[in-house]
Amino acid sequence: MSDSEKLLDTIPRALYFDNEDRFFILDQTKLPTDEMIEEQKDVEQVYDSIYQLKVRGAPAIGIAGAYGLVISLKNSLDLEIESFLELVYKNAQYLNSSRPTAVNLSWALNRLSKIAQDFPKDKTAKELYDVLKHEAILIHKSDIETCRLIGEHGAKLIREGDGVLTLCNAGALATGGIGTALAPMYVAWSKGKRFSAYSSETRPLLQGARITCWELNKFGVDTTVIADSVSSYLMKLGRVDMIVVGADRVANNGDTANKIGTSSLAINAKFYGVPFYIACPYSTIDTNSKSGTDIVVEERGKDELIYIKGQQIAPKNIKVCNPAFDVTDNSLISGFITEKGVIRPPYNFSK
Ligand code: MRU
C-alpha cells in the first residue's frame, strides 16, 4: 500500500457488516457533535434508519438495503425454501419503499431478489442466505473500488490552488468507500495537491455543514462552509474553479437528480463559466429513465423546514414545500466522473 493509499484508508466509514453477520451504521443525524455507531437489528429499524437519513447518500443506502435484507433473514433459516423466498421478496419490497429517488437502493435490492428468484428450489434457506450475504458483501466491496476509481479520474481535474465547491454530502459517508464527489478531493489532497474546498451547507438538513465539513476536516482538506445562497457570489468573485456534486439518479440522457439546490448551482455555474461535474458510479445511472421527467423526486415532511434541532423557526401552520432533490438539465453538466473515466456530452448511457 502506498502512503497516499494508507492515508485514504483513514477516512471514516458510514457502515459495516461484521463476521458475526451483524450490521452497523454511523448515525449521521448526530454528526458532527456525536459519533454514534448503531447496530441494525431488524428490517423495520433499517427502513427507519434510511428514511430518517441516519444512513444516507445513494450508494450507501444501496449497500444498507442489501445488508438490511440479509439481517432481516438471519433468524428465519429454518423456513422451507418457498416461505423463505416470500420473506426475501416482502422485505426487499418494504426496504425499497423507504426512499424513492436514489436508484442504488432498488438496484441493490433487485440484484439480491433476482439471485433469490433464480436459486435452485431444492436447496435450503441457509444456502440461499449465504449466497445473498456474499452478494451484499460484494456490492459493498465493489463500491469501495468504484469510489477509488472515481477519485483517481476526478483528481486529474483538480489543479493546484483551485477552489472546488460541493453541495450536500457525496463523501465517504454517502458510500461504502471514499465517496463520489469528495473522492477526487481526497485523492488529489493525498497526492500533495493543495486547493480550497467550499462546502455549501445544504438546507434543510445541513448535510454539507454537518457531514461534508466533518469528513473533509477529519482528513485535513482546507475547507470553508458557506450558506447555500453564497455560491453564486463566490463564482462571481472568481473563487470557484470547479463544482463537483454527487447524484441520486441519472437518466439515460444525462438529466440528473441530486440534492435540492443542485440545479440552481449548475445554472449559476453555466452563467459564470465554471465547469460543473457530477461524480457517480454506473449503478446510479438508470437507463430506464429516458429523461429527468421520469424521475420520482422525494417530498419530505414539513417539520424539516419548521424546526431546526427541535427549535421552531417558522409558524407551525405555514404551508411547506420540501422536495429533497431536484433535476439538473444535462445541458448544464460538463461531465460525469465515473469509475470508467470522465464521460463528456452528448450523453446517451444505453449506447
Ligand atoms: O438526502 P440525502 O442526504 O440522502 O441526499 C444525498 C445526495 O443528494 C447525494 O449527493 C447523492 O446521494 C450522492 S451520494 C454519493
What separation in Å is there between the alpha carbon of 174 and the centre of ligand 1?
7
Residue ranges of alpha helices (H) inside 205-244 are 207, 213-219, 231-236
Residue 32 in this model has a pLDDT that exceeds 90: yes
74 close to 129: Cβ distance less than 8 angstroms: yes
For residue 29, give the nearest of 48, 54, 46, 4 by alpha carbon.
54
What separation in Å is there between the alpha carbon of 223 and the centre of ligand 1?
19
CATH topology of domain 152-343: Rossmann fold (3.40.50)
| Average pLDDT in the chain | 97
Percent of all residues in the chain with a pLDDT value above 90, rounded to a whole number:
96
Looking from the CA of residue 175, the nearest atom of ligand 1 is: 15
Looking from the CA of residue 181, the nearest atom of ligand 1 is: 15
pLDDT digits (tens, 9 = 90+) for 224-240: 999 999 999 999 999 99
Per-residue confidence (pLDDT) for residue 34, from 0 to 100: 97
Per-residue confidence (pLDDT) for residue 260, from 0 to 100: 98
Residue 9 in this model has a pLDDT that exceeds 90: no
**Is 248 considered catalytic here?**
yes
Q: Where in the chain is the domain with CATH 1.20.120.420?
A: 3-148
Set of cell numbers at residue 293 = 421527467
Q: Cβ of 262: how many Cβ atoms within 10 Å?
A: 27
Ligand 1 site residues (CB inside 6 A) read 53, 56-59, 102, 168, 170, 174-175, 180, 207, 245-248, 258-259, 324
- Between CA 85 and CA 83 the distance in angstroms is 5
Q: What class is the 3-148 domain?
A: mainly alpha
Percent of all residues in the chain with a pLDDT value above 70, rounded to a whole number:
100
- Between CA 15 and CA 18 the distance in angstroms is 10
pLDDT digits (tens, 9 = 90+) for 163-219: 999 999 999 999 999 999 999 999 999 999 999 999 999 999 999 999 999 999 999
Per-residue confidence (pLDDT) for residue 166, from 0 to 100: 99
Q: Where in the chain is the domain with CATH 3.40.50.10470?
A: 152-343
